[in-house]
Structure 1
């Protein structure tokens, strides 16, 4: 049986789908639209038919060289297996969000049989619903990144292994990946309560007062040899971006990043975090040097400053077991400890949820309009979007608390934001968060 794996990112993985009926597009005789997971894929008319099995690749996925060449998708035909054929992907093999004849295309569809042939696996193994970015150990796709992480050389690996590490990853875990709502809607029941919040576009932030290792003195190490009990750990505050731990109190840690926004802000809030608590949130606004954390998304924050909005609070035990506060407990924690939380827009049963109410909306503007008409508005007042942005919010986050240790978390991003991100990636500019992950 063929082995399918997701190694890079579930949100950018390929997935086998049953093609629904294509629909006509205005002023496009040779193109049709295909609805996949609530998105539209614009494709050539007659290329894929209703009922076919196809593999869907979302916008900003990067196809492997083997797949791009084998499917003859390179724009430079000399890179294709059949050099007489010309595709539309550039040499970086990136699937871009495109606006074609007024319709935003958010992905790529390839016949399942073609993908199976390229990777030499039985087409019968590509069953509807299977998701992957590797087939039989071979890479199929990954998330596109302007700046890929540099692989460590042998000396760097050896030095990292020897370096004193205070923070255990399991005691200061990264934030769980937020899955695309439209690709995972089927996991929810009509009776699930959905909590919808404004999705802020800044940089991920985490901070916690957690157990860390102590670097023992030679005298303490000597005491241990004669069986004197010496404390090997202590509680300290640690900060981090989405991927990187900023352990500034570790004198042996090398800091190669230029702007350490996370530590700068963390130092302002560390006295508000209780022991064995980790807070997760979004930092928006500006660096102290006056650069926008995310261009076009500064939310009315005073230049030179950043504001944190929490979206998750966790309790970590000394054994590394993680327990999340419910959303209402997060709100209470934020209020009692002097934090902001991401604005709540709506909550209710999934059966009553209408995603169209949240698509391509300026939430702050709509909130003011609803109040002016005598309505209740959103549950909380949203943060205002920036004049140099897209004219709409990035999208929404959706949380479901089922009483487990960790909530279910999803996101929905607007077409306008996908186009905005595509333009930013086209420019080759690396935003602050992406630079930190590389």
Structure 2
């Protein structure tokens, strides 16, 4: 038996084995029935009787296997539990909530591994002898079969259209060369990564906006050969119908290539084609733009409920950029004919956009991490070139950043007319690597949770 990551697992919703050696008090001295533990950058509240040991950590907004919840008597409604005299914390949907208890935020859920192991024994008559600290997983695999433990919670009010990798009728997946038009990487929750930022790192901090992910490229595609091109294929020792690689335009959502089906009625209600027309003039050969579309859809609905970003609903047949919707670029790459990718630095993205008539995401800060909060470092004998950093510099840095209103943290969105919570920040280390971290506001998470509880779907999960 093994604990594994499934093929389509999302890094932000994986369970993790953690050794908790110490707990700390709830910050409110009057609270005596709760205590806290740190899991990477997360604070998790547990009962005061919990003892140090090995736990399974489940992150906020993941959904737990209902059979596990039943076995461990974790449901709030006792009739769903194995022991109906006991009650837990979970609603019927099994979603882990970020909650504030007496002024202290708890982000995630901890349960001792022995309870998890007992569930495995009850389920497949076999447990694990050892749990490796730091192991991340979402699935149990045994004798060639597997079952899920946790996954991202998604409101089931629609059928997602997914890229399956299979060729279907028409040209949708015939033309797309995956390495030429890749999906955007998963932006990792910064709190789940131990010490990802060092004081001397040059970092870029930008506004995280709440819309729908978009990508557009002018890249090599597999085009159907003409008769004469097919004849040349034969002379080259290739198949008669071997596709011809030519540069062409593609666009889509995070997971779905929309450009190939842009004529269908389903897609006419979406903002992607209009966003593509905004970016198209600035695309060069081999270039991919990754952006966020915010505001309203062509049918007048919000792209994300209540998040207007200074836009107004379209009237009649109009759908105007910067009036009804906005496109904000956050990433640019160039891919050569061999599939090798050059990643623009965060500042290069800003400069390229501003010199080509596009609007990048709002930049909050660019510079050394240590310069944001100089009070966290020590200057000895006036030597500003070699400051001293305390061992807990990063936890203090993250705590300060999480509550800094100069970055609009825990404030209303600075870009919306409606009073809605600011989503948070995107943080990139300027090292030319394809990686980014996100830091979300608790107020935003709380609003998001209420929408999920109301059964409201999210365009990001649909696309």
Q: Gapped runs of 5+ residues in structure 2?
A: 315-323, 373-396
State whether residues 65 and 148 of structure 2, in contact with CA within 8 Å, keep that contact through their aligned partners in structure 1: yes
CA 360–200 in structure 1, closer or farther in 2 if over 3 Å, else same: farther
1:169 maps to what in 2?
A: 178
1:40 maps to what in 2?
A: 43
- Distance (Å, rounded) in 1 between the aligned partners of 2:241 and 2:456: 53
1:296 maps to what in 2?
A: 306
CA apart distance, 1:231: 7.2
Structure 1 segments, 4+ long, off by >6 Å, are 156-159, 226-231
2:290 maps to what in 1?
A: 280
State whether residues 291 and 329 of structure 2, in contact with CA within 8 Å, keep that contact through their aligned partners in structure 1: yes
User: In the comparison of the two structures, how many residue pairs are matched?
Assistant: 411
> Are 1:215 and 2:224 counterparts?
yes
CA apart distance, 1:401: 2.7
State whether residues 316 and 322 of structure 1, in contact with CA within 8 Å, keep that contact through their aligned partners in structure 2: yes
- Distance (Å, rounded) in 1 between the aligned partners of 2:101 and 2:325: 37
1:427 maps to what in 2?
A: 454
Q: Deviations over 1:196-232 (max 9, x none)?
A: 1111111111111011222345676577568799972
State whether residues 112 and 123 of structure 1, in contact with CA within 8 Å, keep that contact through their aligned partners in structure 2: no
State whether residues 300 and 385 of structure 1, in contact with CA within 8 Å, keep that contact through their aligned partners in structure 2: yes
Q: Deviations over 1:70-120 (max 9, x none)?
A: 222123334333344322322221112233334333211111222223224
- Distance (Å, rounded) in 2 between the aligned partners of 1:287 and 1:100: 37
- Distance (Å, rounded) in 2 between the aligned partners of 1:189 and 1:362: 22
1:110 maps to what in 2?
A: 111
- Distance (Å, rounded) in 1 between the aligned partners of 2:235 and 2:264: 34
CA apart distance, 1:3: 4.2
- Distance (Å, rounded) in 2 between the aligned partners of 1:2 and 1:73: 24
CA 307–166 in structure 1, closer or farther in 2 if over 3 Å, else same: same
1:199 maps to what in 2?
A: 208
State whether residues 364 and 384 of structure 1, in contact with CA within 8 Å, keep that contact through their aligned partners in structure 2: no
CA 42–287 in structure 1, closer or farther in 2 if over 3 Å, else same: same
Q: Gapped runs of 5+ residues in structure 1?
A: 367-381
- Distance (Å, rounded) in 2 between the aligned partners of 1:25 and 1:361: 19
State whether residues 223 and 229 of structure 1, in contact with CA within 8 Å, keep that contact through their aligned partners in structure 2: no
State whether residues 25 and 35 of structure 2, in contact with CA within 8 Å, keep that contact through their aligned partners in structure 1: yes
CA 365–100 in structure 1, closer or farther in 2 if over 3 Å, else same: closer
2:402 to 359, 364, 367: 359
1:234 to 237, 246, 249: 246
- Distance (Å, rounded) in 1 between the aligned partners of 2:11 and 2:243: 41
State whether residues 191 and 351 of structure 1, in contact with CA within 8 Å, keep that contact through their aligned partners in structure 2: yes
- Distance (Å, rounded) in 2 between the aligned partners of 1:91 and 1:365: 34
Q: Deviations over 1:175-200 (max 9, x none)?
A: 11011111114344443222211111
CA apart distance, 1:38: 3.3
> Are 1:321 and 2:340 counterparts?
yes
1:397 maps to what in 2?
A: 426
- Distance (Å, rounded) in 1 between the aligned partners of 2:402 and 2:161: 42
- Distance (Å, rounded) in 2 between the aligned partners of 1:191 and 1:123: 42
State whether residues 203 and 432 of structure 1, in contact with CA within 8 Å, keep that contact through their aligned partners in structure 2: yes
Q: Deviations over 1:316-351 (max 9, x none)?
A: 122322221112221221122111111221233344
> Are 1:243 and 2:244 counterparts?
no
- Distance (Å, rounded) in 1 between the aligned partners of 2:352 and 2:456: 37
State whether residues 204 and 242 of structure 1, in contact with CA within 8 Å, keep that contact through their aligned partners in structure 2: yes
Q: TM-score, normalising length from structure 2?
A: 0.78
1:4 maps to what in 2?
A: 4
> Are 1:178 and 2:179 counterparts?
no
SS of the residue corresponding to residue 170 of structure 1 reads coil
SS of the residue corresponding to residue 117 of structure 1 reads helix
2:442 to 415, 430, 433: 415
State whether residues 358 and 395 of structure 1, in contact with CA within 8 Å, keep that contact through their aligned partners in structure 2: no
- Distance (Å, rounded) in 1 between the aligned partners of 2:222 and 2:450: 44
